[in-house]
Amino acid sequence: YKEGVTILQLVPSYVSGLLDIDSDFDLGGLDYFLVTGEAVHTSLLSKWFSRYPDIPVVNAYGPTEAGDDVSLHFMNEAPSGQNVSIGKPVANMQIYVVDDKDNLCPVGVMGELWVSGIGVGRGYLNDSAKTAKVFRDNPFTNSSSRLYKTGDLGRWLSDGSLEFLGRKDDQVKIRGHRIELGEIESVLSSQSGVNSCCVLAKSDSSGLDRLVGYVVMSGAFDKQFLQDQLNQELPSYMVPLVWVCLEEMPLTVHGKINKKELPDPDMSSLSTASYVAASNEIEEELVRIWQDLLGVEQVGVHDNFFELGG
């Protein structure tokens, strides 16, 4: 306020840390607060509007390759849904939702976001191969405009705005199911006590991919409570069974969550059942088979084959 700042733009992960500090910042001079660089969750917006109800928030979306922010969504209160709209394209920019066969997707259908318009760059300096993969002529117009294939996923909503649904390279396959990690993070972030979160797919010693939930909590960490809450909103195969509770998320110099610095989890706590040892010859033989097949050191008679990675 003292510096006369009227528009402030920050990364959501950094904002979350600021709001957790037990003090009120004097932001009365702000006309708009912009969040960008990462998907913003409704829990963070609720926290913002509870402290600054008169300062509107703009959810800004855009890759560097397309001149940064290419769509904007203005809010005066936290939205009721889990995902926050990224709004509509700004002037002189076009956004397309495209399927795997380069066809335009209808309203409600997920596809890759392609950006065209005055902000699209020429390509990557001294890297023609990488440029050829993601920069191309616009096939949807008669003009000679260029477009950039973002690698982001999204869909058109019925009101003409866009919904961001994560990254194509954040899609993972767990037990044959294709999963969007961002969808899990969106639900997880709305749970009581979760200040910050991240979900990754990590390989165990046998090479199986497992979902790992990383959380920063405002109170005590209760793994069973979080899993029960997620099971009410997500199918069971999308609920992490391995959890890591952190005091704070590692951030990059730009304020984004640094996923490379997240610690490796302890894969020994995969089952939700209490351990009960085998009590007869058949159970002992089954335990040996499961241990060998799943690469798990301890198997109890009440363990779930699929929870352990089967």
Q: How far is CA 51 from CA 55, 163, 192, in A?
A: 9, 26, 18
CATH superfamily of 270-310: ACP-like (1.10.1200.10)
pLDDT of residue 273: 59
CATH 1.10.1200.10 in the chain: give the residue spans. 270-310
User: Which residue in 264, 272, 190, 203 sits closest to 232, CA to CA?
Assistant: 190
CATH topology of domain 175-259: GMP Synthetase; Chain A, domain 3 (3.30.300)
Reduced to 3 states (helix: H, G, I; strand: E, B; else coil), residue 125 is coil
Selected from 3.40.50.1100, 3.40.50.1220, 2.60.40.10, 3.40.50.12780, the CATH number assigned to the domain covering 7-168 reads 3.40.50.12780
| Burial of 226: CB neighbours in 10 Å, binned 0-12, 13-18, 19+ | buried
- Output the pTM of the full model: 0.67
* Highest-scoring range by mean pLDDT, 17-26, 33-42, 167-176, 301-310: 33-42
CATH 3.40.50.12780 in the chain: give the residue spans. 7-168
pLDDT, tens only, 209-231: 788 999 999 889 998 899 999 99
- DSSP calls for 39-61: PPPHHHHHHHHHH-TTS-EEEEE
> What is the overall mean pLDDT for the chain?
87
Mean pLDDT score, 253-260:
85
Mean pLDDT score, 125-152:
92
What lies within 8 Å, CB to CB, of 203 at 6+ separation is 209, 210
The answer to whether 80 and 41 are in contact (CB under 8 A) is: no
pLDDT, tens only, 91-129: 999 999 999 999 999 999 999 999 999 999 999 999 999
The answer to whether 83 and 68 are in contact (CB under 8 A) is: no
pLDDT, tens only, 26-38: 777 889 999 988 8
What distance in Å separates the CA atoms of residue 285 and residue 276, rounded to the nearest whole number? 15
